[in-house]
Amino acid sequence: SRALKPVVSVAAQNGAKTFSTTSEMQIKVAVLGAGGGIGQPLSLLLKHNPLISHLALYDIAPFTPGVAADLSHIDTPVKVTGHKGPEQLGDALQGSQVVVIPAGMPRKPGMTRDDLFNTNASIVRDLSLCIASHAPEAIVAIITNPVNSMVPITSEIMKKAGVYNPCKVLGVTTLDIVRSSTFVGEINGDDPRCVKVPVIGGHSGITIIPLLSQSQPPCKLKDPEKIDTLTKRIQEAGTEVVKAKAGFGSATLSMGYSGARFTNAILRGLKGEQNVSECAFVKCNLSEAEYFATPITFGKNGMEKVLGYGKINDYEQKILCAAMPELLKNIKKGVDFVKKYD
């Protein structure tokens, strides 16, 4: 049958070795917020991932079963189920090894990511409570903004439930890396897929710290003013999209792509592949902040190793120092939000 044939995977196209067959992998992935601007293209891409056996789509939107029915007609072996409303969340989560969360409100022009806190904090809290009870072992990838505060919220909820594993709560910052590769690729005249730029700190405005000095191949810009302009463009790239969409949301397609790439890294780690790495906003000891975006590797348990960020130049050190108060404030806001409910 088709399900037993080896499949040349998206993972393989991205450089992963193809030593699996679809029948070997039994990984259920739940997408919470699957009906949204990010959720739909993300789910479309995940439907094509041969490392996934079951994709559970959850949203409060009434059309969620329709999104699942639509995707289920695509001729890949991934089983798709739709789950709508809180009473069906448990079913979506049961047995999931990976949970991806793009649920929540996006920005409108003039808003900061922190302005989303009041709405999105309770959404992520409630979803996390249900993950803690129905899929306590799952690796959770959080896309919802503000990421700098949502990762602490999920972590605190997991701690309270006694199921916290810091290696399994990951904030998704991949879009910052994708953008940096694109912009440096354009400047250098290089294929952006071959450009690697680590981005550290957090995921909002000045907390986004692209390490252009570590770009591989090196960024051709040498003039400090131009480096500063490029750094600010990367920091404000989300706002660039919000403005261009003129009130109709924020980045969805590039985020769908980035979320699928990040999920694929988690899956490759789960499968036992070595040295799979991406940046992510995670619990670590790299700075005075409890959570920090850094290159990491993935393994059977989610995050395997914090790779850290190596040597940074004076300019990068300066913008990192400038970012720390904001990052610490964002993290504290998330932690305090959960403590309030003690």
User: Residues forming the annotated binding site for substrate?
Assistant: 107, 113, 145, 179
Q: Helix H segments across 237-313?
A: 237-245, 253-270
Q: From ligand LMR, ligand NAD, none, which one binds at residue 242 (CB under 5 to 8 Å depending on kind)?
A: ligand LMR
Q: From ligand LMR, ligand NAD, none, which one binds at residue 39 (CB under 5 to 8 Å depending on kind)?
A: ligand NAD
CB closer to ligand NAD, 100 vs 276: 100
Residues engaged in binding ligand NAD (CB under 6 A):
32-33, 35-39, 59-61, 102-107, 116, 120, 123, 127, 143-145, 147, 172, 175, 203, 249-252, 255
Binding residue numbers: 33-39, 59, 107, 113, 120, 143-145, 179, 255
Number of H helices, E strands in the chain: 11, 11
CB within 8 Å of 24: residues ≥ 6 apart: none
Give strand pairing partners of 171.
Answer: 142, 281
Least Cβ distance, residue 297 to ligand LMR (angstroms): 24
Q: From ligand LMR, ligand NAD, none, which one binds at residue 241 (CB under 5 to 8 Å depending on kind)?
A: ligand LMR
Least Cβ distance, residue 127 to ligand NAD (angstroms): 6
Which residue carries 């399994």 as its tokens? 168
**Which residue among 250, 258, 294, 330 contacts ligand LMR (CB under 6 A)?**
250
The two three-digit tokens of residue 3, written as one number: 């399900």
Q: Report how far residue 187's alpha carbon sits from residue 98's, in angstroms, rounded to the nearest whole number.
A: 36
Least Cβ distance, residue 217 to ligand NAD (angstroms): 25
Q: Is 203 a catalytic residue?
A: yes
CB closer to ligand NAD, 25 vs 123: 123
Residues, the chain? 342
Least Cβ distance, residue 224 to ligand NAD (angstroms): 28
Is there a contact between 298 and 268 (Cβ–Cβ < 8 Å)? Answer: yes
CB closer to ligand LMR, 107 vs 261: 107
Q: Report how far residue 248's alpha carbon sits from residue 250's, in angstroms, rounded to the nearest whole number.
A: 7
**Which residue among 145, 174, 215, 263 contacts ligand LMR (CB under 6 A)?**
145
CB within 8 Å of 36: residues ≥ 6 apart: 59, 61, 102, 103, 252
The yes or no reply on residue 251 touching ligand LMR (CB under 6 A) is: yes
3-state helix, strand, coil in the chain (%, to 5): 50, 15, 35
CB closer to ligand LMR, 69 vs 244: 244
**How far is residue 146 from each of residues 43, 150, 312, 329, measured CA to CA in Å?**
22, 6, 26, 12
Which residue carries 């806190």 as its tokens? 117
- Segment contacting ligand LMR (CB under 6 A): 24-32, 48-56, 218-226, 236-244? 236-244
**Which residue among 33, 41, 171, 238 contacts ligand LMR (CB under 6 A)?**
238
Q: Report how far residue 49's alpha carbon sits from residue 54's, in angstroms, rounded to the nearest whole number.
A: 10
Closest CA to 52 of 24, 82, 16: 24
Binding residue numbers for NAD(+): 33-39, 59, 120, 143-145, 255
Q: Report how far residue 84's alpha carbon sits from residue 2's, in angstroms, rounded to the nearest whole number.
A: 31
Least Cβ distance, residue 298 to ligand NAD (angstroms): 18
Instruction: Give the residue numbers marked as catalytic.
Output: 203
For binding to ligand LMR (CB under 6 A), which residues are involved?
106-107, 113, 145, 175, 238-239, 241-242, 250-251
